[in-house]
Amino acid sequence: MAKNTSVKVFDFAVKMEQDGEKFYRSLAAKSADKGVKFILNGLADDEVKHAKVLRELEKGASPAMKQTEILAGSKNVFSDMASRKAFPAAGSDQMALYEQALEMERKSRDYYKTQADDAALKPARELLLLIAGEESRHMFLLESMIEFISRPQTWLENAEFNHLEDY
């Protein structure tokens, strides 16, 4: 590997992915909703996959990375919850953790994009951009989950305060 894709870069990236996995597993353990658990555990599984690919890349391999399947599975989860009108309750503390996860994914995506710009070897650059793309998909998923979970409260607020006619 070139100097700009040094051991420090990989160690930091792997640690970031491991921390993400722990964070998602912790959130999943605290969730009472099986659909939310599925999504959070899927995100954790992707973080494990990223760490493994990064370690292989660090060793000089040119690993292939299968694209995340969490979005397709999550679409089914959201559809199922919506059809059952089973909207998972999330307190402000839990929503703050989802927002924290979103920010964590944003920082990861930005980190990989920056490292890809500095990568001297084409295989490293391509893989780092693939991981950055997955982090973007994770962001989209988290944004969707936050919106979906908060929709009942938003709707109630809108119905109560914004849809009343003036008398």
In-domain check, residue 167: no
Residue 164 has a pLDDT of 34
> Can you give the residue range of the structural domain that contains 49?
3-161
Of the candidates 150, 149, 147, 141, the one whose C-alpha atom is nearest the C-alpha of residue 24 is 141
Provide the number of structural domains found in the chain: 1
If you average pLDDT over every residue of the chain, what do you get? 81
Question: Binning pLDDT at 50, 70 and 90, where does residue 3 land?
Answer: very low
User: Which pLDDT tens digit goes with each residue over 75-132?
Assistant: 777 777 777 766 666 777 888 899 999 999 999 999 999 998 886 666 688 899 999 9
In-domain check, residue 146: yes
Mean per-residue pLDDT, 30-43: 90
- CATH number, domain containing residue 132: 1.20.1260.10
Q: Report d(CA 18, CA 23) in Å as an integer.
A: 9
pTM confidence score: 0.82
User: Which pLDDT tens digit goes with each residue over 53-62?
Assistant: 999 988 888 8
